[in-house]
Structure 1
Amino acid sequence: MLARIRRLFRQFFSKSRTINNEPLNQVSLIVIILIDIFILINVFAGLDNISRWHMSPSQAYPCYSEWNNYRTQTTKDKDYEIIRVSLSNLNNPPLFKQNYQQIEEEHLGKVAEICLSYADSKDKIYNSVNQQTLKIINEKQAKISTLEQSNRNIRAQYDSTILEKIAGQPRQQSINIVGAEKAKQELDKNTRNISTFAQEISNLKNQLLAKPESVNFIAFLKDEVKFRAVEKGYKQALFWYPSIQFGFQSIFLLPLIIVALLIHKFAGARGYGLISLISWHLLVIFFIPLILKIFEFLQIGVIFKFLFDIISALFGGLLFLVSYVYILLIPLIGFVIIKFLQKIVFNTKIQAANRVQKSCCLKCAKKIRHHDIHCPHCGYNQYIECPNCHNFTYKHLPYCKECGYSQESSPL
């Protein structure tokens, strides 16, 4: 097995550095490598773009995150806060429903109908009266902040004036703007104003929350049935999204692999060495991201979820066993892939049969004459002696062309 793998590696590197069995010069090899890097970057860029073509769970259910955050909040003013967020953009209307529908135009898939209804309810909150109410609330809140900062400054100075009075320092020599006598008056006045503004803000908030559009939106948010439907859809989309991404990435890569493979076979059969070399490099480059995406899919896709659920059901919290399963599973998959390539794709006997029919060398696939014992291009011996009739017959073919004796057990 190891000898076979080493032989495959030697063939791989030989195929990547030769044209018509002649070594590629260093400058040409550098050019090929630069082309490989450029194409590989573009392949990954294309994979990234196509993987985002289908709507992600957050795009298909854009209301889920905000809705879920609202439900998990425990603050007293959470109803007002979500209304405030809906009105926060005072210059440009948010048009949430229009933004959700625009996602559909740019991606494959549909935004959930419940989220469109959610956005429609949210858009109704955005009107001139509610905007003006929020603006007044913000202005009063700013005044409260200013008064609170003024109080902090006065308290700091008040402490200093008390020390100055204890020390017997004359008032005209004090470094503080507000004297001890005035400090208490200013603090009391500011505190009363803060209390007044706070009460006004509370009344405005209650008015804002009492508006019919706000009441309907809050009722929508508190609807348990609707949220459960959104949550179920979101989690289902989250489960299938890696598989959908892998499917689109495969659709992007497979035509490239098939075209490169067909060109490589055609160029090899016609003796177009440079085209054969470039198509071989392209084939390798297209396979690299495919293999990486397969392993990535195995880690986060449906298969991972299936194994995770089985181990969770059988062994409870021993989820580290998933790693053990992958450690055993990945080499097994690699073994199956190698066997498939050996038996089907790169099967020596199948290749030999095709090349004999086309009068091509069994090794390099170049055109040769029917009676040539050795290939004039690579020097490979085309024949082996039949152990039964001792005549020459083709290598790698199952039966002798002279007597029909089975060659399966004869050395090649």
Structure 2
Amino acid sequence: MSESANRGPSPLAGLKVLDLSKILAGPYATMSLGDLGADVTKIEHPEGGDPTRSWGPPFVGDDAAYYLAINRGKKSVTVDLKSDEGQALIHRMLAESDIVVENFKPGSGLQKIFDYRALSERHPHLIVLHISAFGDEGPLRDEPGYDILAQAAGGLMSLTGEPGGAPLKAGFAMGDLGAALFGIIGILAALYERTRTGRGQYVTTSLYECQLALHVNWATSYFATRERPVAMGSAHLNLVPYQAFPAVDGHFVVAVGNDAQWRDLCGAIGRDDLGEDPRFVQNRNRVDNRDALEKELTSVFAGDTVEHWCSLLNSNSVPVSPIRHLDEIYAHPHTAALGMVETVRHPSIGPLEQIPSPISFGGVRPTITSAPPELGADTDEVMARFTNQRKSL
């Protein structure tokens, strides 16, 4: 699919984004802006480009699947940001850009070169999103910025896993992706402010801060009790039963959100006595007696299959779901009905499957316009436009 293809809704059309970031948080944020119509140019080092290009296997063609997941809809320009020529080119590009996303390490040479105060004097319209690992202040400022470190330092790993078991990281990169999503919120707020003031803004966030922001009920429960929370497996801190249960052939999830649903569950499984038991009548009682209730339900659910329980509970208005694996998800008719897999043509790989934007406008989802770029694929075009050179700087 070409850039000129009908891409559906493009609410950010006309905005120009300069992506000076690498790895995951920044590139995911800029890709998301591109999905919404922004024109995104990714700046990469001439020697190897974004490190995720080599984060494999698996590889698809020359690039790792990891890189291909988070860089569609962008141009790739190779520039040495530490060279005088490279910096001169970037400033010419900044003059035409609306948004810059970078994840320079706090106090690094590149952060000093592209210091926002200096940038804003030359380009007062610019909105700069700076994503760091732990923020630009504090004793952890200089710690490395990997997702698993943010999950460890930010508490997610202490709350993930079975009770008494080894800590586990979340299956998704919630440190990086959380920062990307909060970063996008900051960018959109700054864009709105610019419509009133005409000036840009320096937006900052970090993997660590975003982990804390996502604690939500865990944090307020801790503030209320000052008791250290621990991992609870798939169980919920404040709702019972709200967890996975084993059946004969696998696991499924029950998510009882209120007492009416609890009574429906008891009736469906033929255990009205549980619904009348004073230990379990209300959610607050069930939370206090979760271990006893889990033992009762586990005994019941061990007697039949996942399909049986999901069908039975669903027909009785009890929220329930099997635990699906990715192969099942991408073969599921619901995924197809939502159009959550698109195929885009890559210049050397050929057809490449991608997960599109999860946002629709008026029932229409933005269409992916271009595949993740090969390293430096757009360097000559950009050089020809901004300078008289046609080689990577």
TM bucket normalised to smaller: under 0.3
Greater relative CO, 1 or 2 (CA 8 Å, sep 6+): 2
Could you tell me the TM-score, scaled by structure 2's length?
Answer: 0.20
Could you tell me the TM-score, scaled by structure 1's length?
Answer: 0.20
Looking at CA atoms only, which structure, 1 or 2, has the larger radius of gyration? 1
Pick the structure with more strand per residue: 2
